[in-house]
Amino acid sequence: MKLLRVGPSGAEIPAILDSEGRARDLSGHIGDFTADVLSPAGLERLAAIAVDTLPLLDEGLRVGSCVPRPVNFVCIGLNYSDHAEESGLEAPSEPVIFLKSPGAVCGPNDEIEIPKGSEKTDWEVELGVIIGTRAKRITRDAALDHVAGYCVINDLSERAFQFERGGTWDKGKGCDTFGPIGPWLVTKDEVPDPQALRLWCDIDGKRMQDGNSRNMIFDIATLISYVSTFITLHPGDVISTGTPAGVGLGMKPTPIFLRTGQRMRLGIDGLGVQEQLLIGG
């Protein structure tokens, strides 16, 4: 299933794509993609609905984040071998974890605000994992049992804030609109191998990133297990699993950063596409 949320920010309703890719209204069956809905039993109930009998939604409706604001928006740094290399850093011996502010969450096609004072706003297409059942200190073998599905994420970053202003990475990662999620939550039954997905990102029509999730240093099951050692994961939580090479900071000989008026287009095979305009914050 491809699940999404549509409508004005803060007033989205749940929807599902039909066999022709049209959004159908699920609000007669569920209020939102809450913990009970994202559980295996909840997803099974959704799968039993005759989708083509649901009301069609207007194609012009805004698409919001495919999950409500998560309790934990966990990100993994330096998790692709080629990205670590372009950053001039050794591959980490353990996953690098940081948290993105829930206030960064926005829809996949919402305008992205370049923060006031920003000099080095950057892009990062990433595969997102959406948790379906509570996970606390789980084993790697059990990790994927806790997954509801997968999605596209743009882990936007302000590199000067991240690296040059002291402290942790969070101040360059959690700015407003720096966490577009979606367009869809694609349930895991439709993603037979999440370690074989192509990720790409274009800036003003120019291909900047073109990678594959097979190049992760730590695979998804390892990441879920590892994160759950430190942070209890709840249904609707998101783990953004790292980005391949091609970010602005890694451009040679001179880094390239985003400017007001530019457009980003990014996607992952089978998980949909995001399109965003950069505006002043």
Q: What is the chain's mean pLDDT, rounded?
A: 96
Q: What is the pTM of this model?
A: 0.96
Whether the predicted pLDDT of 89 surpasses 80: no
Residue 178, pLDDT score: 98
- pLDDT band of residue 180 (cuts 50, 70, 90) is very high
- pLDDT band of residue 236 (cuts 50, 70, 90) is very high
Give me the residue spans of the domains in the chain. 67-280
- pLDDT band of residue 168 (cuts 50, 70, 90) is confident
Whether the predicted pLDDT of 194 surpasses 80: yes
Residue 88, pLDDT score: 78
Q: Is 229 exposed, middle or buried (0-12, 13-18, 19+ CB in 10 A)?
A: exposed
What are the pLDDT digits (tens) for 105-123? Answer: 999 999 999 999 999 999 9
Say yes or no: domain 67-280 is CATH 2.60.290.11: no
What are the pLDDT digits (tens) for 129-151? Answer: 999 999 999 999 999 999 999 99
Residue 86, pLDDT score: 79
pLDDT above 70 as % of the chain: 100
Contact 31, 17 (CB under 8 A): no
Q: C-alpha distances in angstroms, 255 versus 163, 210, 249?
A: 14, 18, 5
Residue 167, pLDDT score: 79
